[in-house]
Every structure is written in C-alpha cells, then in structure tokens.
Amino acid sequence: MYVFNSNKPIAIGCDHAGFDCKETLISLLEGEGRLFKDYGTFSKDSVDYPDFAHPVANAVESGEAAFGILLCGSANGVAITANKHQGIRAGLCWEVEIAELVRKHNNANVLCIPARFVSDEDAEKILDTFMNTEFEGGRHADRVDKIGC
C-alpha cells in the first residue's frame, strides 16, 4: 500500500555526505518504477546542504512532489532547513520505528536520513516504512494543526 499520490514524483536531494545513500535509494525507486526528481547533489564534492534541501522542500510544499527525501551526514541540517518552510513537516529518521511514528503521529512529508549513521539496507527499510505508513489523524491531527506559525 503506497499512501502517497503515486502520480506525483518523489523529490530527493542530498549533500556530499548523503550522495552514496541517495544513489542507493534512487536505484530502489527506479527498480519499483516510482517517479522521482533528483535535486542533487550529483557528486561527492563538498556542497552546502541548504542548496538542495530548499528545492526539495519547495517541490513538496507546492504540491509538485508527493513527498521528499533528504540526506546529509546527520540529517539535522537538511531537517532544520526543510522545516523552515511553512508546509513542511520534515522528520529525522535513523530507524524504521521512527519513520513509522513520524508518519503516524506527525504526518511528515519529508523524510530526512542521516547517511553517516545508517546502512544503505536500513535506509531502504526506513524509506519503505515512510512510504507505506498512513497518518492516524484524530488527536494527532489536532497537534499537527498547531505546528504552523
């Protein structure tokens, strides 16, 4: 069960520390026939993570993308950057249970993975869980509604 609109692409981006993991996740998405748009970076050369987090967040916020995936070394930088956008709820996920909870309880629309702290195999499991977990709504919806400033 894929809970996000499958007619829209998934926005994906990273900095240099997340490049290898991004490539792994892109291979997974391609293998599943999922649409995606890669916002870079396109090499392991040192870059500034906001240059890639903002375009991914913009794509999700505008409705151009079904959801976003961001990767950097700790995932804190990309999560902080993406969460500056009013319509974004970026969740930092380093294990499957966290990915499940950010979807169920926070209705996260951007998945942030700390590439230096998770294996490629675990990143794939985290992404699968994120994509296939529905928001519970109810009391959680009331809380999510209070997030915006």
Q: Is 45 exposed, middle or buried (0-12, 13-18, 19+ CB in 10 A)?
A: exposed
The whole-number pLDDT of residue 1 equals 47
Domains in the chain: boundaries = 10-145
In this structure, what are the phi and psi dihedrals at residue 47, rounded to the nearest 5 degrees? -140, 175
CA distance 100 to 75: 17
Please tell me which residue in 14, 16, 21, 72 is annotated as part of the active site: 72
Q: Is 39 exposed, middle or buried (0-12, 13-18, 19+ CB in 10 A)?
A: buried
- Model pLDDT for residues 37-50, shown as the tens digit of each residue: 999 999 999 999 99
CATH of 10-145, one of 3.90.1170.50, 3.40.1400.10, 3.40.50.360, 3.40.50.300: 3.40.1400.10
The whole-number pLDDT of residue 4 equals 75
Whether 21 is catalytic is no
The whole-number pLDDT of residue 2 equals 61
Cis peptide before 41 (omega within 30 of 0): yes
The whole-number pLDDT of residue 58 equals 98
Whether 72 is catalytic is yes
Residues in the chain predicted with pLDDT less than 50, given as ranges, are 1
